[in-house]
Amino acid sequence: MNITERIKQDIRGKFRENVSLKDYNTWKVGGCAQYLYEPYDLEDLKSFLNITKKEKITFIGNGSNVLIRDKGVEGYVVCLKDSLNKYYKNNKKQYTFEAGLSCMKIAQITAKNNLTGLEFLCGIPGSLGGALRMNAGCNNGSIWENVLNVTIINKEGALIKKYKKDFDISYRNVNLENGNFFISAKFDLVENGLNNSEDIIKKFLKDRRANQPTGLPSCGSVFKNPKDNYAASLIESLGLKSHRIGGAYISEKHANFIITEKNSKSDDVEDLISHIQKKVFEKMNILLETEVKFIGKK
Ligand SMILES: Cc1cc2nc3c(=O)[nH]c(=O)nc-3n(C[C@H](O)[C@H](O)[C@H](O)COP(=O)(O)OP(=O)(O)OC[C@H]3O[C@@H](n4cnc5c(N)ncnc54)[C@H](O)[C@@H]3O)c2cc1C
């Protein structure tokens, strides 16, 4: 039996060939996954990885920090967006969330129980797995701050428990061995004595609507902020707001956001990213590093 036959026989999750990834990323661009798999549950994912252990695997969550290239992605794309979204609470008020849960949901669940520390997640349109990988953060909060431990799955489908101290956690990055992926994380949170966490969430969302082009296709901030500076200020100071290439343009509201129009190509976005980097380097001698991850063939 070949791999595809084994998958079709043994796997309960959704498995398809040659699937457009446009609906699997928030820029709504890019080509097809050679194979796309959405696990039924953790056991299913373990079996899947065991079958595909020698193949190229790419994990995505909600696709809110990736640029999927137009030529598509070779091998197997595993998408956790609509699966692995259970959570558990123990009697010490510690929560374990699976990696496919949305950041918004996690913020709501913990806020409803008036536990503080994860309210900031309300504005991040990603999954927990992606947030851990990216060390997502905003409003003075960041995802790893309250992590006790995480469960990782390796390329063979074996689970490994790791503690926060096992990672080098830095600005929008965490060191994760190739072929390892986040499956869940356990958080230690404290009761919010002074403020109501649900009110904090409302305020964060209101601020976001005021300052960011919410509701339009983007991946949030494209570039990391350089030391002691803001990528958005640098881009804006060069008069690049509204600059466009094809169907991709720089937001008028927030210069670190690139917006795509319907039928925009991933290449338009990538060319615009290169254009910004070139201009900022020429005029300011600063190399803007991308926060967004590029996935697929160039
Ligand atoms: C409007 C908007 C606003 C945003 N605001 C913020 C913000 O304020 N702060 C911030 O930090 N980010 C922000 N982002 C970026 C993005 O939402 C976060 O980085 C988010 O955590 C990414 O999660 P995801 O599930 O979408 O990851 P994806 O985009 O699907 O993946 C991101 C990276 O993580 C890897 N990955 C995904 N899942 C796993 C997994 N389970 N295990 C291992 N690796 C995995 C992928 O391979 C990829 O390299 C914003 C994005 C948008 C669209």
- Which class for 260: exposed (0-12), middle (13-18), buried (19 or more C-beta within 10 A)? buried
Q: Which CATH number fits domain 87-201: 3.20.20.150, 3.40.50.300, 3.40.1390.30, 3.30.465.10?
A: 3.30.465.10
Is 197 part of the annotated catalytic residue set?
no
CATH number given to 3-79: 3.30.43.10
The residue nearest atom 6 of ligand 1, judged by CA position, is: 124
Q: Is the pLDDT of residue 244 over 90?
A: yes
Q: What's the confidence (pLDDT) of residue 265?
A: 98
Q: Is the pLDDT of residue 156 over 80?
A: yes
Is 16 part of the annotated catalytic residue set?
no
C-alpha 237, offset from chain centre:
28
Whole-structure pTM value: 0.96
Cα angle 51-63-96, degrees, rounded to a multiple of 5:
70
Q: Is 134 in the pocket of ligand 1 (CB under 6 A)?
A: yes
Determine the straight-line distance between the first and last CA of the chain, rounded to whole angstroms.
32
| pLDDT-based confidence at residue 192 (cuts at 50, 70, 90) | confident
Three-state secondary structure call for residue 130 = helix
Mean pLDDT of 106-127: 95
Q: What's the confidence (pLDDT) of residue 92?
A: 84
More confident residue, 176 or 92: 176
Q: Is 204 in the pocket of ligand 1 (CB under 6 A)?
A: no
Q: What's the confidence (pLDDT) of residue 37?
A: 98
Three-state secondary structure call for residue 195 = coil
Q: What's the confidence (pLDDT) of residue 194?
A: 73
Catalytic residue among 172, 251, 264, 266: 172
Q: Is the pLDDT of residue 195 over 90?
A: no
Q: What is the dihedral of CA 84, 89, 95, 99, to 10 degrees?
A: 0
Q: What's the confidence (pLDDT) of residue 91?
A: 83
Q: Looking at the CA of residue 176, tell me the nearest atom of ligand 1.
A: 43
Q: Is 80 in the pocket of ligand 1 (CB under 6 A)?
A: yes
Is 12 part of the annotated catalytic residue set?
no
The residue nearest atom 12 of ligand 1, judged by CA position, is: 136
Mean pLDDT of 93-110: 96
Three-state secondary structure call for residue 121 = helix
Mean pLDDT of 44-67: 98
CATH number given to 213-295: 3.90.78.10
How many angstroms is it from 105 CA to the middle of ligand 1?
15
Q: Which part of the chain is CATH 3.30.43.10?
A: 3-79
